[in-house]
Structure 1
Amino acid sequence: MTTLVTGGTGFVGSAVVRALIARGERPRCLVRPGSDRRNLEGLGIELAEGDLTHGESLAEALKGCTALFHVAADYRIWVRDPESMHRANVEGTRQLMQQALKEGVARIVYTSSVAVLGKAPGGAPAHEETPVTLEDMIGVYKRSKFLAEREVQRLEREEGLPVVTVNPSTPIGPRDVKPTPTGRMVVEAAAGRMPAFVDTGLNVVHVDDVAQGHMQAYDRGAVGQRYVLGGENLDLAEILAVVAARRGRKAPKIRLPRRPLMPLAHVAETWARLTKGPEPLLTVDGLKMAARPMYFSHDKAAKALDYRPRPAAEAIHDAVDWFESEGYLR
């Protein structure tokens, strides 16, 4: 079986590649020219250069493939050019899925996100069927993933796309080379550079458990269905306490109110835009998201896929240890 993985150089994608290799497969990875390929070094896999927005490269990458894991996405809370994120996450997903149909790919696992799910009443964990609309999406990333998943669902209904969707929560663990927004938070906290925080809640899951969930979705998932791949629901204070304890530090205790920080977030975004600097740590959308703890239930995946994630503390420990070993905490 020939399997194409998109996003294999990234955090979740590289874990999926390793999970496939553990099953005895040698997947093909779609990689952008000039991309950071550290996560694929030494794996001995086939690389196909291309881009989600270039249809010809997708056709070449998919030739002879019977399976597709579409993991790639532009994941940033703040982006200088929102249209570039829409092109990658929405239009790129549409092009890839349409090309997979043309090539006769027999089975597809699409990596969506819990970001597209609704908010359950009373603070209860949300799930796959929690009602939600596009208007509920905060920020360009969430909107792009919501629209991309809707496009995947449309192609499944109207054109018979053989796709199973997975919705990972907040993956944490090794090989977060970029790092992701969550990884940046872990780095800052582990390095002792986060004396205060804006409290919220997250569902934390080990990235390797998310990858295993992809394998289980491929083996057991029902076409047209989606499955939350989550872990433990923790408030941010709990997460930071585990990070600090791993490094022998005291956890930050100062909880900052969101509203007074909004002007600072606007200034940080303006400065990043003018200087063409990196994504600011403090963003308007990030503060808005913090008002809604992101708690989720993976009961459906547990029952249908036999999905069993490890404790969240193990994910956090593995992330801190990897960031330390790779020099991120200096």
Structure 2
Amino acid sequence: MKVLVTGASGYLGGMLCQALLREGHSVRAFVRPTSDLSSLPPVSDAGADGSLELAYGDVTDYQSLLVSCSGCDVIFHAAALVEPWLPDPSRFFSVNVGGLKNVLQAFSETKTVGKIIYTSSFFALGSTDGFVADEKQIHHEKFFCTEYEKSKAIADKIALQAASEGFPIVPVYPGVIYGPGKVTAGNIVAGLMIERFNGRLPGYIGYGNDKFSFSHVEDVVEGHILAMHKGQPGERYLLTGENASFRHVFDIAAIVTDTKRPGFHIPLWLVEAYGWASVLFSRITGRLPLISPPTVYVLRHQWAYSCEKAKVELGYKPRSLKEGLGEVLPWLKSLGLIKY
């Protein structure tokens, strides 16, 4: 099939393009003119199974998106602005909400597209303090830890409304994505492992009261492709994995690397203070902080989800954290980013 992938230069999007090419599809990678294309194969070397072409534009630029949809059978809308904090929060809404609106409008004007796979986020469903949620959960909207979370919750409402109006949209909800690939804000586990093994993060963050659902990037990519083949329009699918705290992640990392576990806990109030200082430094330098106050707000809650529906209906098979970290840590070591 002819497939359009928005956000094709991103951490998830690049791997999704490669997987679609391996399956023999013709992939049109929608990228900005300034995008880093290192996660994509060279256009001339896309492989015999599928073909790759680049389409330049921006999801906030409707005309460029409309032109890129022409002749496509499927749209994977993976483009998103994924950051815990930005000096201009309106960007989250122009990209994450406005981008989805543009994709839906482009679909309405394109006669060939038969399905839209929309990459949402576990944040769109809201926190799960004290329980494990499934696809029935709708964001409570009592509070939002980050502007990113708020933008994805608003976009989720738009996606569900579109589905009720007959749009062939399949929303999928990855957890905390980790694995080999770009070390970006969307690959926070790799970033924390780099800080941990370089001595800049010597202790646990908090006391292990947080809980997240961790998804290996290759499993999430496979889940997207399964959603293309088996996902039913209007149905939601959680592409999550093992539910655990970051304390547990650090403990598994110590076991995998045969190193000592952290010897103490860094209280969240101290992490938050560091986050405020990082934000101030960021405003001066223009470099986004690794830790910001919204990150701490997220860590004060639990985000645990069940992916049983995706397992049963799609054949989704997430790997364990131990297996996943057993791949990620040697990869980081091979790049010289960590030592153990």
TM-score higher than 0.5 = yes
Seen in structure 2, the aligned counterparts of structure 1 residues 260 and 13 have a Cα distance that, compared at 3 Å, is same
Aligned to 1:16: 16
Q: CA–CA distance in 2 between the matches of 1:250 and 1:34?
A: 42
Aligned to 1:117: 125
Cα shift at 1:269: 1.2
Q: Deviations over 1:3-51 (max 9, x none)?
A: 0011121111122112212221131110111211111034521110110
Q: Aligned ranges for residues 219-234 of structure 1 at < 5 Å?
A: 219-234=229-244
Q: Aligned match of 1:191 in 195, 198, 216?
A: 198
With normalisation by structure 2, the TM-score equals 0.90
Cα shift at 1:193: 2.6
Q: CA–CA distance in 1 between the matches of 2:329 and 2:313?
A: 32
Q: CA–CA distance in 2 between the matches of 1:133 and 1:155?
A: 20
Q: Is the contact between residue 195 and residue 201 of structure 2 (CA under 8 Å) also seen in structure 1?
A: yes
Aligned to 2:321: 312
1:286 and 2:277 matched: no
SS in 1 for 2:118: strand
Q: Which runs of 5+ in 1 are unaligned?
A: none
Q: Which runs of 5+ in 2 are unaligned?
A: 47-51
Q: CA–CA distance in 2 between the matches of 1:139 and 1:216?
A: 30
1:176 and 2:182 matched: yes
Aligned to 1:108: 116
Larger deviation, residues 244-253 vs 280-289:
244-253
Cα shift at 1:131: 4.2
SS in 1 for 2:142: helix
Aligned to 2:266: 256
SS in 2 for 1:27: strand
Query: Which one-letter code corresponds to 2:247 in the other structure?
Result: A
SS in 1 for 2:116: strand
Q: Aligned match of 2:173 in 162, 167, 176?
A: 167
Q: Aligned match of 2:72 in 57, 65, 75?
A: 65
Seen in structure 2, the aligned counterparts of structure 1 residues 195 and 260 have a Cα distance that, compared at 3 Å, is closer
Q: Deviations over 1:261-280 (max 9, x none)?
A: 43332222122123322x22
Identity %: 31
Runs of 4+ in 1 over 6 A off after TM superposition: none
Aligned-residue CA RMSD (Å)? 1.8
Q: Is the contact between residue 18 and residue 41 of structure 2 (CA under 8 Å) also seen in structure 1?
A: no
Q: Aligned ranges for residues 204-223 of structure 1 at < 5 Å?
A: 204-223=214-233
Seen in structure 2, the aligned counterparts of structure 1 residues 202 and 190 have a Cα distance that, compared at 3 Å, is farther
Aligned to 2:84: 77
Aligned to 2:137: 130
Q: CA–CA distance in 1 between the matches of 2:174 and 2:213?
A: 9
Q: Deviations over 1:64-112 (max 9, x none)?
A: 0010111111100111111112111111111122102211211110000
Q: Is the contact between residue 112 and residue 166 of structure 1 (CA under 8 Å) also seen in structure 2?
A: yes
Q: CA–CA distance in 1 between the matches of 2:149 and 2:117?
A: 19
Q: Is the contact between residue 175 and residue 322 of structure 1 (CA under 8 Å) also seen in structure 2?
A: no
Cα shift at 1:134: 2.8
Cα shift at 1:321: 2.6
SS in 2 for 1:300: helix
Q: Aligned match of 1:235 in 233, 241, 245?
A: 245
Cα shift at 1:132: 2.4
Seen in structure 2, the aligned counterparts of structure 1 residues 120 and 78 have a Cα distance that, compared at 3 Å, is closer
Q: Aligned match of 1:274 in 276, 284, 287?
A: 284
Q: CA–CA distance in 2 between the matches of 1:80 and 1:243?
A: 33
SS in 1 for 2:302: coil
Seen in structure 2, the aligned counterparts of structure 1 residues 193 and 317 have a Cα distance that, compared at 3 Å, is farther
Q: CA–CA distance in 1 between the matches of 2:139 and 2:33?
A: 37
Query: Which one-letter code corresponds to 1:12 in the other structure?
Result: L
Aligned to 2:308: 299
Q: CA–CA distance in 2 between the matches of 1:288 and 1:15?
A: 30
Number of equivalences: 327
Aligned to 2:49: none
Q: Deviations over 1:217-262 (max 9, x none)?
A: 1111111111100111122122112223444432213222223443
1:329 and 2:335 matched: no
Q: Is the contact between residue 120 and residue 130 of structure 1 (CA under 8 Å) also seen in structure 2?
A: no
SS in 1 for 2:4: strand
Q: Is the contact between residue 112 and residue 168 of structure 1 (CA under 8 Å) also seen in structure 2?
A: yes
Q: CA–CA distance in 1 between the matches of 2:27 and 2:127?
A: 36
Q: CA–CA distance in 1 between the matches of 2:8 and 2:336?
A: 22
Aligned to 2:160: 153
Query: Which one-letter code corresponds to 2:158 in the other structure?
Result: E
Query: Which one-letter code corresponds to 1:22 in the other structure?
Result: R
Q: CA–CA distance in 1 between the matches of 2:141 and 2:249?
A: 29
Q: Is the contact between residue 122 and residue 175 of structure 2 (CA under 8 Å) also seen in structure 1?
A: yes
Seen in structure 2, the aligned counterparts of structure 1 residues 284 and 47 have a Cα distance that, compared at 3 Å, is same
